[in-house]
Each structure stands twice: as C-alpha cells, then as structure tokens.
Structure 1
Amino acid sequence: MAKKALFITGASSGIGAETARQAVAEGWQVGLFARSKDKLDALVSELGDGNAAALPGDVTDLGEVQKAMAAFAEINGGIDAVFANAGTGLSAGGTDAGDPEEWEMLIRINVMGVLWTVKAAMPHLKESKGHLLLTGSAAGRRHIKGSVYSATKWFVHGYGGNLAEEMREFGGRCTVIAPGMVDTPFFDEGKPDKLQPEDIARSVLFALGADPRANVQEVFVMPVN
C-alpha cells in the first residue's frame, strides 16, 4: 500500500520539522519545503530517503512553490495533504514603532506565502480529495494593541474558514492549527515553559487522522502557564 504524502512549508525547524518527524512515524511520506537546503538535507538524513524529500524554495515565490509541489507529486503519485506552516514575526510591535519594510516581508510570508501555497496545492488536493492545514495563531482570534502580526493571523483564520467551505464542494478538508506561545526559533530567546513544537505537531496529526466524514476545522492549543 502506497504511503500517503504530506507537503510541509517552513519544514526546516520548529513546528514544521517536528510535524515531519511525527508524520513519518505514522507512515506518511513527507515533502520538506523551506529556504535552508542544508537543514532540509539534515532532516532527510534523519528521517530516511525513503520517507522524506528535500524541496528547497522560497514560499513568497509562487513558481518555486508550484515547482516543488509538482516534483513531490511526481515522486509519490499525488499529494494527500499540504501543511502551509511557513511564517514569520516582527522585531518591533505596534504601529508607531513598526518598520514598514518588516511589515512588507511579514505580509509576503504570512499572507502571500499562504495564498501561494494554497494556489499550488489546490489542483493536487482536488485530485486526491485531500486535506489542507494552515498555521494560524491564538493571536489571530484576539485584539492585540497595534499588532500587525496578529492581523496577518486573523487573515489566516478567515481564509481557512472560507477554504473549508470551498473544499467541501469536492470532498476536501481544511484545518487551521492555532497555537499559543510555542518554544521555537521564531523567538530570539527560548520559551521552555511554553508549548513545544511536538505539542502542535500532535494536533496536526490528530486533524489528519480524523475520519474522512469529519473535518476538524480549527484546533486551539494553549500553554497551561
């Protein structure tokens, strides 16, 4: 029986890398997409060539995402699920203190990167009646003083709900995974008392493992402390 295939953006570290590990442990084939070829190659070495493929590229470039996804589909005979996980934050919060150049890059990754991933994924997921997952955030469901980052995650939650309606028409599913604070390279300083990437990866695999009749549409995972 052929393995199911999961394509992950932002796969070189943090939530993306841990999701790849857990997915392989559950019998998935994973396509690893991120800018850092060295980190992807190291992860493939860890997971095994027969379980993972390194597909380096930039999520802000639609052509690169489409090319990588097509290559992964060719390897596996299709794609069953896509996890649009790549994202970034800002060094300065608020509007007055914010850096417009940082805002532009934030929107290119957190908004356009999601759109490009979904655009590239849709033909493959229509064929497989597959599953799309987006990394949202608890910040995308609350108002945070002047937060442009939070606003990009509001977009992800709104778009994810809209996608669930669109994908229902062909038997597909869409899930938004919404973590609170996670101890990942996203932050300059470690957050060891907060959520760990494996906590979020387990939520991804939970949604993927739901019976085909059920769509786990949003998952919120919050730290206890």
Structure 2
Amino acid sequence: MAEKTLFITGASSGIGAETARQAVAKGWNVGLFARSADKLESLVEELGDKALALPGDATQVSEQQAAVETLAAHFGDVTAAFANAGRGASASGTLEGDAEDWQSMVNLNVMGVLWTAKAVAPYFQKNRGHLVLTGSAAGRTHIKGSVYSATKWFVHGYAGNLAEEFKEWGARVTVIAPGMVDTPFFDEAKPDKLKPEDIANSVLFALEADPRASVREIFVMPAN
C-alpha cells in the first residue's frame, strides 16, 4: 500500500495536534508545521518516526513551500494537507478593530491558506491528493462587524473554487466548519463545547472517504 503523508499547518496544539495524533494512529505520516519548534519537537517525541517537525511561519509562502519539499523528500511524497493555521482578532467590530491586527489576521487566515494550496498543488496534480481547510461556523453566517468571520467566508468560498480546480486532476478539497471548539484559540476554557478530537475525527473522515466520494464540507456544531 502506498504511503499516506499529511502536511498540517497550525500543528503545535489544538485541532492541528489532535489531527496529527489521529492520522498517525491510522497509519499516516505527518509533517507538523507551526512557529513553535519546541512544541513540534515534543509532539514528534510523542508520535514517533511517522512524524516530522517543520518549524515555520504560515504567512510566508517560501517557508510553506520549503516545508512541503522537506516532507516529500523525507517520506517520498505529500498526498494530503490540512490548512489549519488561523487566529481571531484582538477586538471585535469595525470601529474598535485594530488595523495592524486585521492585517496580521488576514495574512494568516487568508494568505496562509493560499500559500498551503500553492505549496501542495504541484504534488496533488500528480498524485490525486486531498486538501482540507479549517473554515468555521462563523464563515457560514453574518456576525456584526466581524473581520474574523469574513476571513472564514473567504476560506469557504476559496475551498469551493479549489474543489472545482482540483477535480480536474482527480484531487479533492474539503472545508471543515466547526462551531465553538475548546482550544487555546480562546483565552478561557470552553468545557461544554466541541473538543479538538471532534474536529480531527471530521478531518480523518474526509481524508479516508473512498476516492469516488468528494466530501466538500463538514459542518460540526456543539450539541448544546
């Protein structure tokens, strides 16, 4: 059986780290991309030789491309990617929002996703790979003045456009749209909301679907 290798951005904690754990448990190799080298190395120690730490900045296309090249050289190919890196804004609304903070968020939530797609597209054109993107319930509804929500609307729109492009190669694209998840994304714990493993379950469901099935979107909301 061919090796399955997954590139994950935002892999050092939360949804990204839990997806790496579940992927390795299902036989995948994983490339762990994030800025925190120490956290990545700790995760590699936990996961073993099927994991590779790839420290880097998701807002830099050259760093994502170099990381994907390193991952492909290490495991032989890159057959899937999870564009998961993202963050919220420091203040809500247009009036109170900070311009520099918006720019930084757009660089990660929008450009970072574009750079992941750009980095893996040459591989997927040849190997019929699969790109998964972290969208949000916030990208499926209108929230008063939310620039963060708007970045996730972009992710949902781009995912659909990518799916139309990638299907010409036999490659697939999925957007995962979670509601509130109890992750370090929030300053305070959200114990009654979704857990990172719930979203990781959705990612692996999409990745392991029969090749004849293109799972375009998975919308996951807390039960309460």
Q: TM-score, normalised by structure 2?
A: 0.99
Measured in 2, the distance between the counterparts of 1:26 and 1:8 equals 15
1:124 Cα deviation from its structure 2 partner = 1.1
Give the aligned residue type for 1:181. Answer: M
Q: What is residue 12 of structure 2 aligned with on the other side?
A: 12
CA contact (8 A) 2:124 2:169 kept: no
1:23 Cα deviation from its structure 2 partner = 0.3
Task: Give 3-state SS (helix, strand or coil) of 1:41's partner.
Answer: helix
Q: What is residue 168 of structure 1 aligned with on the other side?
A: 167
1:3 Cα deviation from its structure 2 partner = 2.7
Residues paired across the two proteins, number: 224
Q: What is residue 26 of structure 2 aligned with on the other side?
A: 26
After superposition, the C-alpha distances for 1:51-102 in whole angstroms (9 at most, x for unaligned) are 1000000000110000000000111111110100000101210100111111
Task: Give 3-state SS (helix, strand or coil) of 2:169's partner.
Answer: coil
Measured in 2, the distance between the counterparts of 1:125 and 1:186 equals 30
Residues 128-207 of structure 1 aligned to structure 2 (within 5 Å): 128-207=127-206
1:126 Cα deviation from its structure 2 partner = 1.2
After superposition, the C-alpha distances for 1:150-192 in whole angstroms (9 at most, x for unaligned) are 0000000000000000001010000000000000000011101
Alignment of 1:105 with 2:107, yes or no, is: no
Q: What is residue 43 of structure 2 aligned with on the other side?
A: 43
Measured in 1, the distance between the counterparts of 2:185 and 2:159 equals 22
CA contact (8 A) 2:31 2:52 kept: yes
Q: What is residue 90 of structure 2 aligned with on the other side?
A: 91
Alignment of 1:127 with 2:126, yes or no, is: yes
CA contact (8 A) 2:77 2:123 kept: yes
Measured in 2, the distance between the counterparts of 1:222 and 1:152 equals 19
1:2 Cα deviation from its structure 2 partner = 4.4
CA contact (8 A) 2:88 2:185 kept: yes
Alignment of 1:210 with 2:209, yes or no, is: yes
Measured in 1, the distance between the counterparts of 2:5 and 2:41 equals 18
1:42 Cα deviation from its structure 2 partner = 0.1
- Note the aligned Cα RMSD (angstroms): 0.6
CA contact (8 A) 2:10 2:16 kept: yes
Measured in 1, the distance between the counterparts of 2:14 and 2:82 equals 14
Structure 1 runs of 4+ with >3 Å offset: none
Measured in 1, the distance between the counterparts of 2:36 and 2:101 equals 20
Measured in 2, the distance between the counterparts of 1:206 and 1:130 equals 15
Q: Which ranges in structure 1 are unaligned for 5 or more consecutive residues?
A: none
Measured in 2, the distance between the counterparts of 1:125 and 1:166 equals 11
